[in-house]
Amino acid sequence: MVAKKNFYSKIYKNKFTGYPNGVIADGLVFLSGIFGNDQDDSDKNFDKIPLLGRDKKQGYFVADEREASVALDSWSVHYKINELLKEIGTDENQILRQHIWQTDKRYFPVYENIRQKLQSSPAPSSGLGISSFHEITDFTIGIDLIAVIPNSNNALPEREVLVDVYNKVLPSASFYAQAVTSGSLLFTAGHIAIKTSEKGKPLVSGFDDIPKEGRFLATGRSHPDSRDGPIIAQTWYVYKELERTLNDHGMGLEDSINITVFLADTRDVSAFHRVHSHFFNDILPALTIVGFDEVGHRGCLIEIEITAVSKQTELEKKPNGYPKKAPLKASESFQIGNFVFCSGVFDLSQSVEDKKKTKIQISLDNFVAQFPEKNKLTRQIINSMAQLSDALYNSGSSLDNLLKVTIYLKHEEDFKVFDAIFKTLVEDKNLPAIEAIVVPNPGPRTSSLFQIEAIGLIN
């Protein structure tokens, strides 16, 4: 049986009390969220960064102060990543995917300038604008990631870059690789609807910007097409670009095992889902949908990242459908080898009676008393954890075998509620790597205050 090993760094204190810096299992490492410099904003200036990272410095404190804060956070985050990976026995050239969470994407150019200095071979990335981090208000950049540890698992060898920054068919919108592999697993960056190969790099803004084959949901009437057209056209374009990347390497969308969808407006869930359903029919991947402060850039409404597996894989591949009515066209979880990717879990209660029930064997009353102002959130977390527990059990895993969880919250203080409940269900020695971010719409339902995205290890 493959075991998971929690990693506690000797050089970096984790910002998530009790949780490991990362979890190692079957040749992969899953790092918890890593944040920027611990100094107060008043102490953040370009002179605290090595000369290599001071390109943006102008020498006037008012002109520099905002960019200096982002630059220092960016330098600190990537320096910590590189040191942590070395401590584990790998390096930044083995990162398979990273999420870049930014409290203000206006300063993305500052971040990217620093990243290019400290990540020579960029990883597939999804860069999202968020409201804040869990209970942390003074950091501008946070990153979590998955990396491969060379020579740890013959089935997951060193990373190979398939589509790099300078791809001629569709150049990257910023400094990131578009797709990499480790063995039969493929990881893409978050793809957005910008035509980077065309002059002016135009945004896909409606039905007129995509070929006729993508206009199957167009009505030909101005009002409905102006509402649904932008998200439908962008979704179609992004899925087609992802499909082309997969096709170029002997795969197709049907080989997707996990999809995360980042939306600028979760009112677009229904329109997105119509296009999603068009592309997926038989084997359904796990699916997570979250609403962010900012997605991509210059009017992007959607960003999509995919994890896929080669058709020639020798790893066991098994989608697990929902035991009852599926909330979305997706599998509840998807097993690949010793790993299981779960669809985003949010409260599925549909009736008043459902909402009165708590499926997991812990006392709701204790948490209602502890968090009297968070009654609705408490119920959603407990119901979600029960659903996640069931999904993991159905795939041969458990809450104790979680490797990495991403927590999407409505408010900074909501992490305390999750943390209290979660640590009742999972022993400290089994806690997973974790990231927790605050966004406008944590889940695809209007009522969602919480969503958890999880990767587990098969028992």
Condensed to tens digits (0 to 9), the pLDDT of residues 248-262 reads 999 999 999 999 999
Share of the chain above pLDDT 90, in %: 90
Residue with token string 């910590």: 80
| Amino acid letter, 153 | N
Does residue 439 share a domain with residue 297? no
Does residue 108 share a domain with residue 2? yes
With a cut of 80, say whether residue 357 has pLDDT above it: no
pLDDT band for 358, please (50, 70, 90 cuts): very low
Rounded Cα distance between 299 and 129, Å, is 13
Residue 459's pLDDT is: 79
Collect all residues with Cβ–Cβ distance below 8 Å to 344 and sequence separation of at least 6.
Answer: 260, 287, 288, 289, 290, 408, 443, 444, 451, 452, 453
Collect all residues with Cβ–Cβ distance below 8 Å to 220 and sequence separation of at least 6.
Answer: none
Residue 353's pLDDT is: 46
pLDDT band for 349, please (50, 70, 90 cuts): confident
Residue 40's pLDDT is: 63
User: What's the total number of domains in the chain?
Assistant: 3
Residue 133's pLDDT is: 95
Does residue 412 share a domain with residue 352? yes
Q: Within a domain: residue 325?
A: no
Rounded Cα distance between 291 and 49, Å, is 34
Name the nearest CA neighbour of 440 among 263, 300, 291, 302. Answer: 291
Q: Is the CB of residue 145 less than 8 Å from the CB of residue 81? A: yes
Rounded Cα distance between 201 and 193, Å, is 10
With a cut of 70, say whether residue 350 has pLDDT above it: no
With a cut of 80, say whether residue 162 has pLDDT above it: yes
Collect all residues with Cβ–Cβ distance below 8 Å to 335 and sequence separation of at least 6.
Answer: 316, 317, 318, 319, 320, 395, 396, 458
**H helix runs in 180-221, sequence order:** none
Residue 428's pLDDT is: 96
Residue 288's pLDDT is: 98
pLDDT band for 38, please (50, 70, 90 cuts): confident
Does residue 99 share a domain with residue 5? yes
pLDDT band for 355, please (50, 70, 90 cuts): very low
Residue with token string 């999809």: 259
Q: Within a domain: residue 347?
A: yes
Does residue 197 share a domain with residue 272? yes
Structure confidence by residue, pLDDT tens digits, 92-122? 999 999 999 999 999 999 999 999 999 989 9
Residue 138's pLDDT is: 82
Share of the chain above pLDDT 70, in %: 96
Task: State the CATH number of the domain containing residue 107.
Answer: 3.30.1330.40
- State which of 274, 298, 314 marks the end of a domain: 314
Q: Is the CB of residue 454 less than 8 Å from the CB of residue 404? A: yes
**Mean pLDDT confidence for 112-135:** 95
Does residue 411 share a domain with residue 271? no
Residue 42's pLDDT is: 65
Does residue 309 share a domain with residue 348? no
Q: Within a domain: residue 68?
A: yes
Edge-to-edge strand list for the sheet holding 286-291: 160-163, 179-182, 185-188, 302-309, 256-263, 286-291
Q: What is the pTM of this model?
A: 0.96
Residue 250 DSSP label: T
Does residue 7 share a domain with residue 142? yes
Q: Within a domain: residue 326?
A: no
With a cut of 90, say whether residue 137 has pLDDT above it: no
Q: Within a domain: residue 178?
A: no
Collect all residues with Cβ–Cβ distance below 8 Å to 83 and sequence separation of at least 6.
Answer: 11, 12
Lowest average pLDDT, out of 12-21, 34-43, 70-79, goes to 34-43
**Mean pLDDT confidence for 214-238:** 98
**Mean pLDDT confidence for 178-182:** 98
Rounded Cα distance between 77 and 79, Å, is 6
Does residue 258 share a domain with residue 119? no
Does residue 2 share a domain with residue 143? yes
Does residue 310 share a domain with residue 261? yes
Q: Within 13 Å of residue 390, how many CA atoms lie on the same side as its CB?
A: 15
Structure confidence by residue, pLDDT tens digits, 395-431? 999 999 999 999 999 999 999 999 999 999 999 999 9
- State which of 124, 158, 192 marks the end of a domain: 158
Does residue 353 share a domain with residue 459? yes
Q: Structural domain of residue 298, as residue ranges? A: 183-314
- Cα end-to-end span (Å), the chain: 7
Q: Within a domain: residue 270?
A: yes
pLDDT band for 44, please (50, 70, 90 cuts): confident
Give the Cβ contact number of residue 113 at 10 Å. 18
With a cut of 90, say whether residue 363 has pLDDT above it: no
Helix (H) or strand (E) holding 24: strand 22-25
Q: Within a domain: residue 176?
A: no
- State which of 91, 123, 158 marks the end of a domain: 158
Rounded Cα distance between 402 and 459, Å, is 10
**Mean pLDDT confidence for 363-392:** 90
Q: Within a domain: residue 388?
A: yes
With a cut of 80, say whether residue 1 has pLDDT above it: no
**136/377: higher pLDDT:** 377
